[in-house]
Amino acid sequence: MTVRAWLRGRAPAAPPHLFARVDQALGRRGDRPLTEAPEQCVDAAEELLRELLARPTAGRDSALDLLAVDALMTYAFEAAASEPDALGDRADHAMTRLASLA
**pLDDT of 16:** 96
Closest CA to 94 of 48, 22, 59, 46: 46
Q: Is 27 left (phi over 0), alpha (psi -120 to 50) or beta?
A: left
Q: Rounded to a whole number, what is the largest CA-CA distance in the chain?
A: 40
Which is higher by pLDDT, 56 or 69?
69
Assess whether pLDDT exceeds 90 at residue 60. Answer: no
Give per-residue pLDDT as tens, 62-74: 899 999 999 999 9
Instruction: Work out the burial of residue 92: count CB atoms within 10 Å of its CB; fewer than 13 is exposed, 13-18 middle, 19 or more buried.
Output: exposed
**pLDDT of 59:** 80
What mean pLDDT is predicted for residues 43-50? Answer: 96
Assess whether pLDDT exceeds 80 at residue 58. Answer: no
Contacts of 101 by beta carbon, 8 Å cutoff, 6+ apart? 46, 49, 50, 53
Percent of the chain exceeding pLDDT 90 equals 79
What mean pLDDT is predicted for residues 22-36? Answer: 97
**pLDDT of 26:** 98
